[in-house]
Amino acid sequence: MPNRDHLNEPQRAFAEKLFELYPDFLPTRSLYLDFEGSGSGWELIISLFWPKHREPRRFAWRICRDSKRLTREDVQSALEELEISGSGPSVVVAYSQGGYKPNERERLIDLLGIDPWPKASWVNLLHPFQKCPQMTATIERHRHVVHKKDKSQVRRSLEALEWEFDIIRDQAIRGHNNRYSDGLDGKMQVLSLAQKYARGGLSDAELKDLKAYCLQDVKSMYRIARTCELGLYGRGQRRERYRR
């Protein structure tokens, strides 16, 4: 039987829904991707996390420069930094709207003008969250992340899911529109900092916080997925899954 001892009930329900929806998902062999921007090809930041490497070589990111938006060359250089070439990853993971397939896939195609990985499967971590009544009810009850100006709005963001998996962000890299159950308001204004970087006016401290924020997004997706896998499957079961 699966070893589920270290998952609480909502975590276990989320994990079961994740692998029900994406039964072939192997967290350690997937690429984690996140955009910051407005979509339709107008992206300011791309963040990538590739757990096949050891730290700190798992993370690469690019910020828009003089063009005020990312270019295909920016994305390609980030992929080269992670040594992702050829047919690319077999699975890409994101956290966004879009249901079974995350909107990040269309945003990537809009940015590049082509689908760079036509054979890749996509996993959307928001999708099992939305399909898991136990986890959504827990987040509503705990109210860890709410809208700063309208406290009735409980966030169903990646930050809220992180909190339920005991991943707590520093205040500097919490969303500026949010208030948190520990009484702190978020400070990160990611799009404003990206635009400031493009103008050449970002301080070293601001750049450090921006990088930490972007790393947190993609690394947290991996940590959550991996925790779910370790909680549901024992060592022998994991070995069998990775042999397929």
| Per-residue model confidence as pLDDT tens digits over 37-73 | 987 778 999 999 999 999 989 999 999 987 678 999 9
Type of residue found at 37: G
129-146 pLDDT tens trace: 999 999 999 999 999 999
Q: Which residue has the tokens 């992180």?
A: 162
pLDDT beyond 80 at 175: yes
CA 49 – CA 58 distance, rounded (Å): 5
Sign of CA pseudo-dihedral 40, 72, 70, 78: positive
Biggest CA–CA distance in the chain, Å, is 56
For residue 164, the model assigns a pLDDT of 95
pLDDT at 50: 97
Average pLDDT, the chain: 92
> Residues of the chain with pLDDT > 90: what percent?
84
172 near 212, Cβ under 8 Å?
Answer: yes
Residues 209-227: what's their mean pLDDT? 97
CB 200 within 8 A of CB 187: no
Which pLDDT tens digit goes with each residue over 202-213? 999 999 999 999
pLDDT at 174: 96
Reported confidence tier of residue 2, pLDDT bands at 50, 70, 90: very low
pLDDT at 185 over 90: yes
Q: Is the pLDDT of residue 1 over 60?
A: no
Kindly report the backbone phi and psi dihedral angles of residue 52, in degrees, each rounded to the nearest multiple of 5, phi listed first: -65, -25
- pLDDT computed for residue 5 by the predictor: 54
Q: What is the pLDDT of residues 79-124, one digit of tens each?
A: 999 999 778 899 999 999 999 999 999 999 999 999 999 999 999 9
Proportion of the chain above pLDDT 70, given as a percent: 98
| Alpha carbons 71 and 204: distance in angstroms, whole number | 24
